[in-house]
Structure formats: structure tokens, C-alpha cells
């Protein structure tokens, strides 16, 4: 998502403008990660980025538009990251499923602090919630496209439904972990790695009737 106006600038000025915009996005991301939306003010972002308040307003407008830009920026990074992680060493069904599950869980773990901010904000801000829902649906499509090769070996009347439910299960587990932490629903400690392995095993049993072990 680009929020900067289209300007007819010389290359050097365009490069500086892009650099300024990136510094503002990085400053806003840092403030959100450290203190949530309450810590994000135009003045605080400007000070953190080392730019004028007017520079932030010119590029992003008010706080709501800046938050929207930051959410889209995070989603762009999240999507690129999840696709990068979908890279199995082998193409047998169990490996593909394990890779798909790990792609989701590892990406959530990598972006957990900022994800928590936007998940929380989405509970009270319909605009944030709608963008988050669209991004979640997109992630599900990427997940199902990645697992398209195993559809013929899923022994169920509706294999696409099985893939959708598998994604929902993994995604919901990650959302819960990001929002509430490791022991919200159980006293048993469970690291991200353990959660990933168990979810991959569940997914293989559900889709193939065989575990990863």
C-alpha cells in the first residue's frame, strides 16, 4: 500500500522521499511494538524518525491513516515471509503439510508482537478488523494453493473443505498464542516448535490418515 502522493520529482528527491517514508514506517512500527496504538502519535513518530511533524502529515495524514499504512506494511512483510517459508526439501505429502504448517506458525512467531497490537486493535476498530480479515483470507488461499498437489490423496468427499479446516485450525492456534501467550488455556508448557510439530501431526492425520512420525 502506498500512501505517498504521486510527485513529479527528480530521482534524487524521489529517493530521499522514499527514504523518509520508510523511516516514518519503521518509527511507527517500533512505537506500536513497544507501546501499542496508545504510544503512536504523529509527534512521537516524527521524533523517532527524525523528521518534521508536517512531513508525517503530508505523507500519511492523521493517526488513523498512519495506522492503516502500518497495518498494510506489516501485512506485506507477513505475506512475503510466509511465502518464503513455504519451501520444502521434498514434495511428499507429509513434508508438504509439515512445511505449510511451519510456514504459518513460524511467521506468526516472527511477527508476534506487532500482530498482537493489530489483533487487539481489531476488536474495537472495524477498519483494522476488516483489513486483518482480508489478509487472513489471503493467507488461507496461499496455504491451500501450496497444498494443491496433495488434493488427490486426501481421502474425503470434500478435500478443499479439509484444507480450509486445517488452515483455520492452525491459524486460530497461532492467533490464540500471539494474543494470550503460552499457557492461557493450559498449564502445560508448549514452545512454538512443539506447537508446530503437534499441529503438523494433527494436520497429517486429518488430511492423510497418517502422522508425520
What confidence tier does 183 reach under pLDDT thresholds 50, 70, 90? confident
* pLDDT at residue 27, rounded to an integer: 94
Q: Is the pLDDT of residue 12 over 60?
A: no
Query: Tens of pLDDT along 34-92?
Result: 998 888 999 999 999 999 999 999 888 888 899 999 999 999 999 999 988 887 667 89
* pLDDT at residue 46, rounded to an integer: 94
CA distance 134 to 139: 9
Are 74 and 111 in contact by the 8 Å Cβ rule? The answer is: yes
Strand (E) positions, 68-110? none
* pLDDT at residue 89, rounded to an integer: 65
* pLDDT at residue 19, rounded to an integer: 87
Buried b (16+ CB within 10 A) or exposed e, 26-56: ebbbbbbbeeebeebebebbbebbebeeebb
Q: Is the pLDDT of residue 3 over 60?
A: no
Query: Tens of pLDDT along 76-131?
Result: 999 999 988 887 667 899 999 999 999 999 999 999 999 999 999 999 999 999 99
* pLDDT at residue 45, rounded to an integer: 94
| pLDDT mean over 155-171 | 94
Q: Is the pLDDT of residue 156 over 50?
A: yes
Q: Is the pLDDT of residue 152 over 70?
A: yes
Query: Tens of pLDDT along 189-203?
Result: 899 999 999 999 999
* pLDDT at residue 17, rounded to an integer: 80
- CATH number, domain 11-61, options 3.30.70.370, 1.20.1050.10, 3.30.9.10, 1.10.10.60: 1.10.10.60
- Element counts in the chain: helices (H) and strands (E): 9, 0
What confidence tier does 5 reach under pLDDT thresholds 50, 70, 90? very low
* pLDDT at residue 7, rounded to an integer: 38
* pLDDT at residue 212, rounded to an integer: 61
The region of weakest confidence among 11-20, 142-151, 196-205 is 11-20
Are 59 and 20 in contact by the 8 Å Cβ rule? The answer is: yes
pTM for the predicted model, two decimal places: 0.82
CA distance 168 to 140: 8
Q: 71-208 is classed in which CATH architecture?
A: Orthogonal Bundle (1.10)
- What are the residue boundaries of the structural domains of the chain, listed by start? 11-61, 71-208
Amino acid at each position: 500500500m502506498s500512501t505517498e502522493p504521486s510527485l513529479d520529482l527528480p530521482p534524487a528527491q524521489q529517493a530521499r522521499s522514499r527514504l523518509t517514508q520508510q523511516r516514518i514506517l519503521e518509527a511507527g512500527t517500533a512505537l506500536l511494538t513497544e507501546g501499542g496504538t496508545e504510544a503512536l502519535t504523529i509527534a512521537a513518530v516524527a521524533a523517532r524518525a527524525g523528521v518534521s511533524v508536517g512531513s508525517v502529515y503530508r505523507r500519511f495524514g492523521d493517526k488513523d491513516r498512519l495506522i492503516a499504512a502500518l497495518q498494510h506494511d506489516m501485512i506485506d512483510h507477513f505475506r512475503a515471509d510466509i511465502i518464503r517459508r513455504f519451501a520444502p526439501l521434498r514434495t511428499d505429502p507429509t513434508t508438504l503439510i509439515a512445511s505449510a504448517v511451519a510456514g504459518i506458525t513460524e511467521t506468526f512467531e516472527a511477527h508476534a508482537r506487532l500482530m498482537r497490537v493489530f489483533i487487539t486493535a481489531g476488536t474495537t476498530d472495524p477498519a483494522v478488523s476488516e483489513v486483518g480479515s482480508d489478509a487472513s483470507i489471503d493467507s488461507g488461499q496461499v496455504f491451500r494453493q501450496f497444498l494443491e498437489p496433495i488434493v488427490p490423496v486426501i481421502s474425503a468427499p470434500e478435500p478443499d473443505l479439509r484444507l480450509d479446516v486445517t488452515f483455520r485450525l492452525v491459524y486460530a492456534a497461532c492467533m490464540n498464542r500471539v494474543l494470550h501467550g503460552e499457557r492461557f488455556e493450559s498449564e502445560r508448557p508448549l514452545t512454538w516448535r512443539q506447537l508446530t510439530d503437534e499441529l503438523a501431526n494433527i494436520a497429517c492425520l486429518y488430511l492423510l490418515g497418517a502422522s508425520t512420525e
